[in-house]
Amino acid sequence: MTLVVVTGASRGIGRATALRLGRRGVRLALLGRASAKLAETAEELSESGVAFVKIECDLTQSSEILAAATQILDFGGAPDAVIHNAGVLRRGSVEQLPLAAWEEQFAVNLRAPFLLTQALLPSMLARKSGRFVFVSSISATLGTANASAYNASKWGLTGFVRSLAEELRDTGLTATVILPGAVATDMLKGTGFEPRMSAEDVATTLEHYALDAPLAHNGAVIEMFGI
């Protein structure tokens, strides 16, 4: 049975994606900080009869990411798809943004996807199949006041994915990156932007690229501007 990893599965896009994939009948490995919201996602999946493992993981901690990768492999072997959705936004001007806020955003938004990909990649290469789907942001194409660390980390993530895709050519694996605009989630609150799409809109797109899209989309950068 297909196994899909979803990071940041407790709320917003991650939760919508996990529930949508559950309806497709896949097995799920859910990664997120220990929270009531993550427990709620797990409970709803359990009530629907979905096979899954809930892995509590602080994505700022390299050791916890590597331990989570081991749990994933023990649960279901090499994943068929890995959806790197987890992200964090800490707003502040360049003049006033604390270094800790800068480092947290780079840790979660950029370093964690690298580490989890690196840890799972050997098993997927050995099987010669698998898909990596990354959630970046339309902020990876522009500048935004009071969001320098977030934007920079998302620009970096898009560059990482394009490079990964080149390394995956002729391996049977693919890497794609989705760039949503203003999504109606908690993260958007306080940014000054009006929502232009729902979490379900993005979840539908992630499902497509994780399970259904032609392999020829390797390296694709998919922008979602909303309506």
Q: Which fold, 3-87+94-100+115-224?
A: Rossmann fold (3.40.50)
Q: What is the 8-class DSSP label of residue 194?
A: P
Active-site residue identified among 150, 155, 160, 209 = 150
Three-state DSSP class for residue 173: strand
The pLDDT > 70 percentage for the chain reads 100
Residues sharing a CB contact under 8 Å with residue 176, sequence separation 6 or more, in sequence order: 131, 132, 133, 134, 161, 165, 209, 213, 217, 218, 219, 220, 221, 222
Kindly tell me if the per-residue pLDDT of 1 is higher than 90.
Answer: no
pLDDT tens column, 156-170? 999 999 999 999 999
Mean pLDDT, the chain, integer: 95
Active site residue 150: yes
Tell me the chain's radius of gyration from C-alpha atoms.
16
The whole-model pTM stands at 0.95
Domain-by-domain residue ranges, the chain? 3-87+94-100+115-224
Q: What is the per-residue pLDDT for 186?
A: 78
